[in-house]
Structure 1
Amino acid sequence: MTSTQAKPSMSELQEREHGTGHDYAQGSPHIRHHTIRNRLINDLHALVQEVIDRNGRCRVLELGAGHGTFTDHLLAAGAQVTVTEMSEPSVRFLRSRFRRNPGVEVLHDQDGSAARQARPVDAVVCVSVLHHIPEYLGTVKQLVEGIVPGGAFFSAQDPLWYPRRSRMSTSLDRSAYFLWRLGQGQLGRGLSTRLRRMRGVFDETNEADMVEYHVVRDGVDEEALRDVLAPAFEEVEVQRYWSTQSGLLQAVGERLCPPTTFSLVARRRR
């Protein structure tokens, strides 16, 4: 069930949520918490090195780069990077940040077509991106077509598919998020969003529902994603882990809580 108001484009919703001055780190565990961030950085460096060893170079397409937190690490690992962003303010930031670096190309991708047309590439990297894409499986299939033999696909920090998670995992995840939200001074927005979801209402004019698209379609199905990639790659590995915004709850959850999030790497494009 959705609102009957005029539906803005996904690009417009992204710009509302990620406008000028937006702090990507505030609600991003993979940027805030060193344990998640360092694991992700190590994975990216290893991926780039593997591809360079096989192909002699690594041209990366990075979807939804935000403000380029992980673009820097891809460059440091030796990659050439094409980054895409739907939010025009974020595009301006990225172009300013990397204006003196010839190894970076920034594309303003308002409808997703620029990313699909950026080919050939040696690797596709999606960090906290797939849950923003309504038809993510179809998008991944198209992106894989542009990856050359020996290349790789990497995705991280997307929520596990809700129906496969245990009741404990879901309850702890929602409770941890609610406690973090209380400290952000956004209780009203959080409660109104929760009430809509409890009623089965998803407002297509509201960025709280549509930008975080996983709330509409129950997360990201990591097994379906693996099945899409398996025919095209020699190896596909899924890692599941706990992730939440609060630093304290992250430290506790890493030791005691069931996984809520996953990363996936597909190696050696056939």
Structure 2
Amino acid sequence: MTARMEGHNAIVTGSSSGMGRATALRLASEGASVCLADINTEGNAETLELIKQQGGRAIAQYCDVSDETLVKEMTASAEAAFGSVSILFNNAGFEDGDGNTDELDVDAWEKVQSINTRGVFLAAKYALKSMIAGGKGGSITTTSSIGGLIGTPGGLHSYCASKGAVISLTRSWAVTYAKHKIRANAICPGLVLTSMVKRIGPEFIEAASGMTPLGRGAEPEEIANLVAFLSSEESQFITGAIIPIDGGYTAQ
């Protein structure tokens, strides 16, 4: 890999596995210093070790993104270690306990929203403060979902609502912070073969693969490829973009 991200300080939320781990590894391999933020300390430590094995720079920080104090502390740790933040992969997400609206418990609704909506807002809030103070601009890439673009049956109503909110937030950040040379984009993955998806079960994966024109789910590294591009100077004229990465699912 080239060092096209040398001198950049990145935060990756949800970095203990899946798309977050793959992206953290990719950014570090291209020269970025990475703050790994997750509640899964064991998985986060594994990601840190993988980055160190490839010669990269990183720190691992416990962070529940729904907790403002922890997000503020995590961002401060990233700044203390590597300087002002210039890249945020706003990726932490949650879907456990979700359901259909007529049967969904309010507490379960709020749990999903607290991570997928409030957590996304909080991570961006403190990253933006750091980017603005640093004066060099930056890039925020947030993980939405095809569930934020289309109606999806099957009991993920809070999740889908949260991912729609992410899209609106992304567009607002793009037009608000462009004057600071800060770009904001959202990616909308379809089926990605992460531990979260595998927890739903093989029947779901088989069915979703069958409905995807390319006939399979994405590997997390394929998502990392897109995030790395959006985080790099090669995408300097891309902001406010909502990009499906779904094997053609939403093209049908």
TM-score scaled by length of structure 2: 0.51
Task: Say whether residues 1:243 and 2:190 are aligned partners.
Answer: yes
Task: Say whether residues 1:122 and 2:67 are aligned partners.
Answer: no
2:71 aligned residue (112, 117, 125):
112
Task: Say whether residues 1:74 and 2:74 are aligned partners.
Answer: no
Q: What is the one-letter code of the residue matched to 1:223?
A: S
Matching of residues 125-140 of structure 1 within 5 Å = 125-127=89-91, 129=93, 132-135=115-118, 136-140=120-124
Aligned to 2:136, what secondary structure does the other structure show?
A: strand
Q: What is the one-letter code of the residue matched to 2:165?
A: V
Aligned to 2:240: none
CA contact (8 A) 1:226 1:236 kept: no
Relative to its length, the structure with more strand (as a share) is 1
Q: CA RMSD in A?
A: 4.0
| Structure-2 change in CA distance of 1:156 and 1:142 (3 Å) | closer
Aligned to 1:112, what secondary structure does the other structure show?
A: helix
CA contact (8 A) 1:61 1:123 kept: yes
Aligned to 1:78, what secondary structure does the other structure show?
A: coil
Count residues with an aligned counterpart.
171
Aligned to 1:145: 129
Deviation at 1:222, TM superposition (A): 1.4
Aligned to 1:146, what secondary structure does the other structure show?
A: helix
- Percent identity, aligned pairs only? 8
Q: Distance in 2 between matches of 1:253 and 1:241?
A: 18
Aligned to 2:34, what secondary structure does the other structure show?
A: strand
Query: Which gives a bigger RCO, structure 1 or 2 (Cα 8 Å, sep 6+)?
Result: 1
- In our comparison, the structure showing a higher alpha carbon Rg is 1
Matching of residues 99-248 of structure 1 within 5 Å = 99-100=52-53, 101=55, 103-110=57-64, 111-117=70-76, 118-119=78-79, 120-127=84-91, 129=93, 132-135=115-118, 136-147=120-131, 148-159=134-145, 162=148, 165=149, 169-170=150-151, 173-174=152-153, 194=155, 214-215=159-160, 217=162, 219-233=164-178, 234=181, 236=183, 238=185, 243-245=190-192, 246-248=208-210
Aligned to 2:22, what secondary structure does the other structure show?
A: coil
96-105 vs 61-70, which deviates more?
96-105
Aligned to 1:5: none
TM-score scaled by length of structure 1: 0.49
CA contact (8 A) 1:71 1:81 kept: yes
| Structure-2 change in CA distance of 1:114 and 1:247 (3 Å) | farther
Q: What is the one-letter code of the residue matched to 2:71?
A: G
